[in-house]
Every structure is written in C-alpha cells, then in structure tokens.
Amino acid sequence: MTEFIAWSMLAAVAGGLTIIVVLLVRGPMRAVLTANAYLSPASPFYIRTFVLVVALAAIAAVAGAGLPCEKQSENTMTLVWWAAGQLHPLCWSLGGFLMGYVLLLTVLFAALGRYRDQ
C-alpha cells in the first residue's frame, strides 16, 4: 500500500509541475503570438500543442516509473528520494521541449519580422 501512495504522490507532483509550467508560459506566449497579425490565427494551435506536449511528457514520466520495491518502502526518505529520481526525466523533457519551443517561436518571428503590424 505504501508503494501505491508513493506512486500517487509522484503522479500528483508531476501533474502539479505540469500545471505550473503551463500557467506560467501560456499567458505571455498568447501575448507574443497575437502581436503579429500573421500569427494571430495560428495562436490557438501553438498554445494547444504546447499544453498537449507538456501534459504528455508528464504522463510519460509517471507511466514509466515503476512502483518502488518492497525493500525501499521501509523508510519514508527512501520513498522521497525514489520520487525525486523518477521526476528527473520529466524535468529534462520539459526543459528540452521548452528550449525547442522557444527556438521555434524565435525562428518564426525572425522570418515574419518584416511583416509588422502598422
């Protein structure tokens, strides 16, 4: 039962981290995407794609984590370190995706930079 509680807490932390990242990035990203008239129609697509990929990264990290073995569940701190170790791939995938997404939007704005709204 302790293993399931540890896995549930891991899922809750991963979900919370995903919600925090989405809420921090969604507003400014919407403002940037609607600044150019050529990008405004594509704004919902980019925002939905961003939310979808971040959510799928969190689900993949939690689904890939197996339950801790019985020997590990003897100590609470061991379970805490297990959960921290399982969040490591999630943090790397979120960081890599955010860097790639920023690069994509930077290239997009560089290409459309000459089409400024008057």
pLDDT at position 74 is: 64
- Give the list of residues 6+ apart from residue 83 with CB closer than 8 angstroms, or none: 6, 9, 10, 13
3 pLDDT above the threshold of 80: no
pLDDT digits (tens, 9 = 90+) for 7-46: 788 888 888 888 998 899 888 888 888 877 777 888 888 8
In a domain, 117, yes or no: no
Contact call for residues 33 and 40 (beta carbons, < 8 A): yes
- Can you give the pLDDT at residue 86? 80
**Is residue 118 domain-resident?**
no
Convert the pLDDT of each residue in 89-100 to its tens digit.
888 888 888 898
Statement: the pTM of the whole predicted model exceeds 0.85? no
Q: Is residue 116 part of a domain?
A: no
Q: How far is residue 115's CA from residue 4's CA, in Å, rounded to a whole number?
A: 54
Nearest-CA neighbor of 61 among 93, 99, 21? 93
- pLDDT tens column, 74-88: 677 777 787 788 888
Question: Structural domain tally of the chain?
Answer: 1
Q: Scanning the structure block, which residue is given the tokens 């989405």?
A: 22
* Residue 22 in domain: yes
Q: Does residue 107 surpass a pLDDT of 80?
A: yes
Q: Is residue 31 part of a domain?
A: yes
Q: What is the pLDDT of residue 117?
A: 55
Domain span at residue 26 reads 2-111
pLDDT of residue 1: 67
